Structures are given as structure tokens and as C-alpha cells.
Structure 1
Amino acid sequence: MYLNPLKGLLLVSLLNIGEIHAASDSVHFDWFEYEGKDVAFSDPVPEGSFQNPILAGFYPDPSMCRVEDDFYMVTSTFAFWPGVPIFHSQDLVNWEQIGHVLDRPSQLDNIGDKVSESIFAPTIRHHDGVFYMITTAVQGINNFYVTATGPAGPWSDPILLPWVDGIDPSFFFDDDGRVYITHNGLPPQRESLYEGHRAVWLWEIDMESGEPIGEGKIIVNGGVDLSEEPVWIEAPHIFKRGDWYYLTCAEGGTSQNHSQVIFRAKSLGDEWIAWEENPILTQRDLSPDRPNPIDAAGHADFVQLENGDWWASFLAVRPYEGGFYGTGRETFLLPVEWTEDDWPIILPAGQEVPWTLPKPDLAPSEVSMPTTGNFSIREEFDGDELGMEWITLRTPVHDWSSLEEKAGFLSIDPLAVELSELDNPSWLCRRIQHATYSASSSLLAPAPGVEAGVALLIREDHYFFVGIQYVNDEYVVFLEKADGGEGQIVVQVPLPELKEGEALVFKIEADRSEISFKVQTEGSGELDLAENEDATILTTQKAWGFVGTMIGPYARLEATE
């Protein structure tokens, strides 16, 4: 059974993470529903066009490669597990997830990491029949890569790169067989001239030994123009077109000042020349008050089609009024145009990232689940495995979820782990992919000593947990809220008629900055638990970080004195 891959997991280690106890009575969830209702997605997509973003919700830092008629893409996952989803497409528009690159504790053990730590921007490349994924495990093993002969895996255990500092490593396989790594790293003399001063490094690597050939060197100091104090040069990718080597990087930080810039050289040993018309992609010069804005565009990767066309994937965000967004950084797609003197442009200055545009000249791909637009899903928990969109927070150390224990139900053995802890809570989650949405889930009233329901979280101290517990000989439903601190019960309502094992449904309605919670039982009908709560606590502006809001079934043991 595939439980992402939570099923069949053995106890890995309890050292340094505290003692964890599983409850003897599982919590049983019957189904889960989600429906997106964003206004920006309400118009039909014209025939022959596609919808941006191509991966809605928390899918940042996209990287892609082509292998004949197939395209593969990976994105960041930070502290969520399994790490680094991998997608397949044949048209660059419709993407089907085929696995996770980091799906074993031997590849990724991130207990103790904060939500926005752990796995940063990955890069995927293919060379001579082998796939390579290279990334950084911040607060962990740092820079490493893994390999596979098939994109769905299995992928190797990490091959460490201790001589690579910084983040965002990327491979480049040259035509002459030599292999290089670029990455964001420390500036000259390891001293920053100003906040955000970084550099792009280039190393040649011996793939047989895994060791560098000679010393690494800085090929970009600061950014396009050091005199203007550019910040956070990162996500460097080298590619070749004709007689030119191109280096494309993100610059300006991953928020509103984000951009994509381009350099080129005739050989890897030459000076890299920045294009005088940089950046080649940004939205920072546009009015934030424009309708349905797409902002923070950058962190691009390029791919060439069989017919010679070029396309770029990149991250951007979709804020609503006030600049808030809880969907995180998402994956977008645009064609690349080339100037007469061979410079690439993803989007001319002053233009908005389009919501819809003509598809690439490729045969359409079929997918089993939509990844953009307004859609609805219902998970019945009645199959042999969960979909790959279901993940958890940090590497599990217990086999705490099952689809076999009770047929037609997701069974969770609650752990004594709070959402605020830097551990693995017994919480199965999926991405929120819209600013306006509804979600609901049915579960059976749990045994005394257990709290269970639905949790929405963007950071350890920014979450909602709508749940039920048994208190003073009766069931009580409650809403727990964390807004920058410890979780607090903000409302609770008794359900005296509810008995253990009877069904109840939690319903959540979110409309941008407001979110409401309801509960429904057969005996009590539908009750308004909390109306128009502040949904902005689940946004990047309130809870700084690199992820988006996640939602799903959660159960925990009640705290004991």
C-alpha cells in the first residue's frame, strides 16, 4: 500500500525527538472534500489555450527537463514529507505526479526543522540515461544530489557535496562530457558588502569520484550590477544555445522584488556578461492595485522543445486585497522569445503575467487530477492507496495511518505531538490551492483522551484546528487558533447527544480574508462554530515563510498534567 509512503514505515529513531506514544484507539475519517472557487478562475479557458498557474498552490521553485517527448518537473517541499514531488507531462501544461524523489528516511530526516527549513529549491536534469535531482537540505545534510534510471524512482540515497555552500545547486552537463555545478554562495572573501549580497559559484565535478576538479570560482558577484547593490542572486541554471552559454538566475528576493536575470559567455572560462535590458521577467514595476494580480515572478528554469521553441517555468504568487495570499508560491509557464542578438525574454518589461495564453505546440497530456483552475475533489478513503497529493509534516517515525484498519476509512493513530512542535504530528494534509474554497470531512467521534478533526497550517504558530474531544462525560467541538503564538481555544460547543463512534462532519468555508467553521451531526443538525475568523493568519504576510497553507485530517492525544 502506498501511503506516501507512510504505510509500512518502521520506527526509525526516537533519539533527540522525545518520547512519543500512540493511542490504542484509532480515529476513523470517512471522507474528505475540497472545492476551489476563485473568481480569477471563473472564466472558461479559450480553446487552444491553457491556465496559469499550471501547478496551483504550494509548488515553488520549479525545475524541469525534457527527455525526448517527455517533460519532468520537481518543486520544493521544505519540511513536508515525502520530499520533492516529481511530475510528468507531454505538453508542459497538464502535469501528473508520478512520485516523490525523497521518500525514505535514509534520504530525508528532517525532525526538528521548522516548516520553512529543510528541502530548498531542487533542480532536475537528465544525462546519458540517468536522472539527477540536486538540492539543499537546510539545517540538515546541506547540498546533495540523488540519481535514478527512471523518473518515478527508486532514487538513490544522497550523495553529499560538502564543498558546496549556500543553496540552490544546479547541474550542467556540457557537450564535451564535462560536468559542472552552479549554486548561490558566499561573496568574495566571504564578506557581504550589504544585506543580501551573495554570489554565484561554478565548480567542475568528477562524477566518478564525486569530488571537485580544481577550485570553485565566483562567476557573478552580487548580481547584474554590483554598484546598485542587488540582493539574493540565486537559483542559477546554465544552458547552451548555439555558440553561447547562458546563465539565468533569480534576483531581488522571492517576494515583490523578485525577478529573473540573464548572463552569457562564449565559454565557461570567460567573463559572464549581463544583458543590458535585464530583468527578463519581473512584476515588481506594476501597480499592486491592478485586478487579479500575479506577483513575485522569478526563479525560472528553461526547456527547449523538439521544434526549437523555448519555454520557462517559474514561481509567482496570486495575492488578493491587501497583498495577502495563503496559497504560497506556485508554478507558472510562459514561452521564451529571443531577440535578434540572441538574448532570451520571458516577459517584456511592463507586461503582466497572463492568466491564459496559447498552449505549446505539443500533443495534449491526460491527467487524473486537475492542478489548476476551479475544481472539486472527494477522497473516499476506500482505495488501496492514497493519492500522492497527501503528505505529512516532517519524516514520520511511526506507522500511524492506515487504509486497511477499517475498510472505507482513513484510520489515524493519534500521537502526543502538537502542531506547534518541530516533530511529526499525526496529520495528513494536502495543499490549499485557492483563496476562496470550501472543505469538509466526516469522522467518527473518537474515544476519550483523543482530539480529532481538521487542521489548516502554514507555520507552527499560525494554524486553525477544528476538532472534537470528550470532556466531562460529553463531546465538545472546538476551534483552536494560533496567531503567532501558542494555540488557544477560541470557541467550544457541547454536543450532548453525540455518542462515541457516531459520525460528525466539519465544514470550512474560506473567502480570501475570512474563514468560517461549522459542525454537523445527525442529532444536532448543522451548527455555526465560528464565523468570519481572520484567514490572513494563514498567509505569508502574517506567517513569514516559503510554504502555503496545508489542510487535512489531524488527531492527537490530549495533553496530560
Structure 2
Amino acid sequence: MHKPFLSLVFIMAIFSSTIASAQKESAKNPIIHADVPDMSMIRVGDNYYMSSTTMHMSPGLPIMKSDDLVNWKLVSYAYDTLSSQDELTLTNSKNAYGSGSWASSLRYHNDIYYVSTFAQTTDKTYIYTTKDIENATWKEISFEPAYHDHTLFFDDDGKTYLIWGGGKIKMIELKEDLSGVKEETERVLIENASEPAGPNIGLPAEGSQLFKVNGKYYLFHIAWPREDMRTVIIHRADKITGPYEGRVAFKDKGVAQGGLIDTPQGDWYAYLFRDYGAVGRIPYLVPVSWENGWPVLGEDGKVPETLNLPASKGLIPGIVASDDFSREEGDADLPLVWQWNHNPDNDYWSL
């Protein structure tokens, strides 16, 4: 029987001294040169929080914190283990490599933090809740089926929705306790969300993230036209139920999939990521301005090299770390930067 082994949360990337020197002066894209895929981001007061995908790893669904959108540190995980089935315990010749839990949706509503995800491995949708995002244990709610790349949304009418799909985007309303779906609430929101990117689509619109700004709803997706690059599509509506009008919002370097975040000073950014080979999916920030009720991403439609944000305090601060396994009394056995590559068998390790 295979036994799980330890693996760092994110793979260390190597920078040149030129990049390191530049980052002392101002924030630089990418803001993190390491694998932080499928980000979801919120601001609560002066603090920002970000969730990400960790697939088959345990603990999973990492939560990161920043006070400047540039320097991030791990503060918690939403779960220790996702499930105990063979794929996640490396038993009976099964594994969950590349599976497990995917794109999450992080929210803050009525003094409670919520982060949701889905897993084709278990065919379930998960919602985790806590009042203390940095220190408390998360409570789990789960139900079937797995709603692909969904966005969790608490509307002003007191209702809670999930929006999900690939190409054809659908919406459901959740029960008041979030334990499942209200019957007969499923509806098609956008018949073909890929349409603004043209007819020759390889990857149809997915990665739903919904935001409400000044009374309007903005639904972000990524699509990938064939023989082209990953593209940001935004649909806008006056009601959550639509109708939605869509447009291509950004296409540069394949930087796509994400959503909106604002600062206490009133500045807006889009958080997006870029597939970067063996390094993984690396996060970018793109400035956002507003024109005629639409978010306009980038500087002249491009990803800026530098940002009007505080400089990075390190190459990959607070997310990648080394460990010599020496411990002082009271220290955690394994710091947050460590994960197991499947559910751990605690009989087979000690420190």
C-alpha cells in the first residue's frame, strides 16, 4: 500500500537579482511567482483574504491574508481532509492526482466568513463557515452534486445563490441553512457565455465569479478561443436573474480568470492568474477603471509591469518557506506551508 509523503504547498521559484532589486521599489507583476491557482479574494476592513485550489492535498483550501494586496501569508485551511475514500487515501491502487477540490469562492456576509468549493472526486459541493478566519476551525456543509467552478453569492434580498457552468451558465438558490438546493430554482442564466470571444472556442466560459457594484451585477468568466489565448469575459445585468450583456474585457499574455477587489482608498483591481509552465498558475493584479458602468481592465489593455502598491518584502513572502524541522516547545509539528499529498496516515510519521 502506498503511503502519503509530505510536499510543500507551493513550489519555490527562482528569481534573478534584477527582479529582486526592482521589487524593493514598487509592487511588480506577477505579485506572487508561485502556484496560487483559481484565486478568490475579499476585503474586510483594511485586510484582504484570498483562497486558492490545492486539489488532492491535505490540509486543503488554503486561506491567505494581506494588508496591501502584495505581501501574503498563510493563515488557515478550510479543511484537514476532504473525504476518506480510496482516491484520497492512496489505497486500492487509486489516487486523486489533479482531482480533489477545485476553484473556491470566498465571501464575507453578516460577520461570517464563507468559502465554498466542489470536488468531482466526491461529486459534492462544500461550504465552510467560520467567524474567525485566521484562528478558528471551519464548519463544513456539503451536498450533492458538485457544481463546477461555481460562485457563491449572498444577494441583498436575503437569498443565497450558486452560479456555475461551462459555456451555458446556470443559477440555483440555496436553502436558508445552505444545506442544499431549493427545489425548482435551477435556471439558465446565460445560454452561451463564450459568445463575446467568438465562435471558435476551445475552452468554453467557466470560472464564474459574481460581484455587485453600484447596483449592477458583474459576472466574470474565462474562455479560451482556439489558436488564441485565455480571455476575460464580463457579463453585466441590472438584476441577478438577467438579462446579461457581455463583452471581452481583457486579453493579454493569457492572464485571465478571477474577479474584482477594491482598496479602502477607492482604487480597483482585477485579480487574475497566468498559466506559467512548471511554476504553476501565478497571480497578477491589473488596475481597473470604470467607464459607462463597465470595468476597464489594464493599462491600454495590457498587464502593467509595476503597480501603484507597496513593494514586495520578499520574493515569495509568507507562502513558500524552508524547514529544518527543529522545534521549540509549543511550536506546531508542521507549519502551515506543509501539506500531505493525500490524507495522512498519522501512524507513519512523527517529528
| 8 Å Cα contact 1:53-1:372 kept in structure 2 | no
The letter for the 1-side match of 2:149 is D
Residues 1:309 and 2:279 aligned together: no
Correspondence for 1:64 among 30, 33, 41: 41
- Residue number in structure 2 paired with 1:422: none
In 1, the alpha carbon distance for the partners of 2:47 and 2:305 equals 24
- Residue number in structure 2 paired with 1:123: 105
Using the TM superposition, give the Cα deviation of residue 328 of structure 1 relative to its aligned residue in structure 2, in angstroms.
0.8
Q: Give the % identical residues.
A: 25
Residues 1:228 and 2:228 aligned together: no
Using the TM superposition, give the Cα deviation of residue 98 of structure 1 relative to its aligned residue in structure 2, in angstroms.
0.5
The letter for the 2-side match of 1:306 is P
| 8 Å Cα contact 1:87-1:99 kept in structure 2 | yes
TM-score normalized by the length of structure 2: 0.83
Correspondence for 2:189 among 204, 208, 219: 219
Using the TM superposition, give the Cα deviation of residue 301 of structure 1 relative to its aligned residue in structure 2, in angstroms.
1.9
- Residue number in structure 2 paired with 1:300: 258
In 1, the alpha carbon distance for the partners of 2:4 and 2:31 equals 41
User: Kindly tell me: are residues 255 and 58 of structure 1, through their superposed partners in 2, closer, same or farther at Cα, counting changes over 3 Å?
Assistant: farther
Using the TM superposition, give the Cα deviation of residue 252 of structure 1 relative to its aligned residue in structure 2, in angstroms.
1.3
| 8 Å Cα contact 1:238-1:245 kept in structure 2 | yes
The letter for the 1-side match of 2:274 is A
In 1, the alpha carbon distance for the partners of 2:195 and 2:44 equals 36
User: Kindly tell me: are residues 54 and 184 of structure 1, through their superposed partners in 2, closer, same or farther at Cα, counting changes over 3 Å?
Assistant: same
In 2, the alpha carbon distance for the partners of 1:102 and 1:95 equals 20
Larger RCO of the pair (alpha carbons < 8 Å, separation 6+): 2
Using the TM superposition, give the Cα deviation of residue 97 of structure 1 relative to its aligned residue in structure 2, in angstroms.
0.6
- Residue number in structure 2 paired with 1:400: 348
| 8 Å Cα contact 1:107-1:157 kept in structure 2 | no
Residues 1:342 and 2:293 aligned together: yes
Using the TM superposition, give the Cα deviation of residue 83 of structure 1 relative to its aligned residue in structure 2, in angstroms.
0.9
The letter for the 1-side match of 2:50 is M
The letter for the 2-side match of 1:382 is S
Using the TM superposition, give the Cα deviation of residue 224 of structure 1 relative to its aligned residue in structure 2, in angstroms.
4.1
Using the TM superposition, give the Cα deviation of residue 46 of structure 1 relative to its aligned residue in structure 2, in angstroms.
5.7
SS at match of 1:296: coil
Using the TM superposition, give the Cα deviation of residue 106 of structure 1 relative to its aligned residue in structure 2, in angstroms.
5.2
RMSD between aligned residues:
3.2
Using the TM superposition, give the Cα deviation of residue 36 of structure 1 relative to its aligned residue in structure 2, in angstroms.
2.6
Q: Within 5 A, what are the aligned runs for 1:106-505?
A: 110-111=88-89, 112-152=94-134, 153-162=136-145, 165=147, 167-185=148-166, 198-208=167-177, 210-213=179-182, 214-225=184-195, 228-230=199-201, 231-252=203-224, 257-275=229-247, 278=248, 280-283=249-252, 295-318=253-276, 325-339=277-291, 341-347=292-298, 351=302, 353-359=303-309, 370-371=315-316, 378-383=322-327, 384-385=331-332, 386-403=334-351
Using the TM superposition, give the Cα deviation of residue 72 of structure 1 relative to its aligned residue in structure 2, in angstroms.
0.6
- Residue number in structure 2 paired with 1:502: none
TM-score normalized by the length of structure 1: 0.54
The letter for the 2-side match of 1:44 is A
Using the TM superposition, give the Cα deviation of residue 265 of structure 1 relative to its aligned residue in structure 2, in angstroms.
0.9
In 2, the alpha carbon distance for the partners of 1:344 and 1:307 equals 17
The letter for the 1-side match of 2:73 is E
Residues 1:73 and 2:73 aligned together: no
In 1, the alpha carbon distance for the partners of 2:306 and 2:62 equals 25
Using the TM superposition, give the Cα deviation of residue 274 of structure 1 relative to its aligned residue in structure 2, in angstroms.
0.8
SS at match of 1:110: helix
User: Kindly tell me: are residues 76 and 262 of structure 1, through their superposed partners in 2, closer, same or farther at Cα, counting changes over 3 Å?
Assistant: same
Larger Rg, first or second structure (1 or 2):
1
| 8 Å Cα contact 1:199-1:218 kept in structure 2 | yes
Q: Deviations over 1:435-482 (max 9, x none)?
A: xxxxxxxxxxxxxxxxxxxxxxxxxxxxxxxxxxxxxxxxxxxxxxxx
Q: Deviations over 1:50-99 (max 9, x none)?
A: 12222321211110111122111011111122111110111111111101
In 1, the alpha carbon distance for the partners of 2:234 and 2:158 equals 24
| 8 Å Cα contact 2:223-2:233 kept in structure 1 | yes
In 2, the alpha carbon distance for the partners of 1:316 and 1:224 equals 19
SS at match of 2:30: coil
Using the TM superposition, give the Cα deviation of residue 312 of structure 1 relative to its aligned residue in structure 2, in angstroms.
1.8
**Length, aligned pairs only:** 332
Using the TM superposition, give the Cα deviation of residue 219 of structure 1 relative to its aligned residue in structure 2, in angstroms.
1.4
| 8 Å Cα contact 1:85-1:97 kept in structure 2 | yes
In 1, the alpha carbon distance for the partners of 2:190 and 2:106 equals 22
Unaligned runs of 5+ in 2: 6-11
